[in-house]
Amino acid sequence: MSETLHIIGGGMAGSEAAWQAAQAGVPVVLHEMRPKVATFAHQSGDFAEMVCSNSFRSDDDERNAVGLLHWEMRAAGGLIMTTADRHSLPAGGALAVDREAFSQAVTAALRSHPLISFAEDEVTELPASGHWIVATGPLTSGALAESIRTTTGAESLAFFDAIAPIVYAETIDMDIAWRQSRYDKGETEEERTAYINCPMTKAEYEAFIDALLAAEKTEFHEGETAGYFDGCLPIEVMAERGRETLRHGPMKPVGLTNAHKPEEKAYAVVQLRRDNALGTLYNIVGFQTKMKYGAQSSVFKMIPGLQNASFARLGGIHRNTFINSPTLLDDQMRLKLRPNLRFAGQITGVEGYVESAAMGLLAGRMAAAEIKGGCLPPPAPETAMGSLVNHITGGAEAKSFQPMNVNFGLFPPLEEARGGRKGRKDRYKGYTDRAKELFTHWLAAQG
Residue ranges for the known binding site for FAD are 9-14
Element (H, E) at 271: strand 268-274
CA within 13 Å, CB half, 325: 31
3-state secondary structure of 198: strand
Element (H, E) at 146: helix 142-152
Count how many residues are written for the chain: 447
What residues form the annotated binding site?
9-14
Give the Cα separation of 8 and 34 in Å (integer).
11
Helices assigned H by DSSP within 195-243: 202-214, 235-240
Residue from 348, 411, 351, 250 nearest 9 by CA = 348
Peptide bond into 253 cis (omega under 30): no
Residue from 418, 409, 420 nearest 66 by CA = 409
Give the Cα separation of 325 and 393 in Å (integer).
6
Give the Cα separation of 68 and 384 in Å (integer).
7
Give the Cα separation of 445 and 447 in Å (integer).
5
Question: For residue 207, what are the contacts with CB-CB under 8 A and spacing of at least 6?
Answer: 302
Residue from 424, 439, 298 nearest 382 by CA = 439
Element (H, E) at 270: strand 268-274
Q: Count other Cβ atoms within 10 Å, centred on residue 154.
A: 12
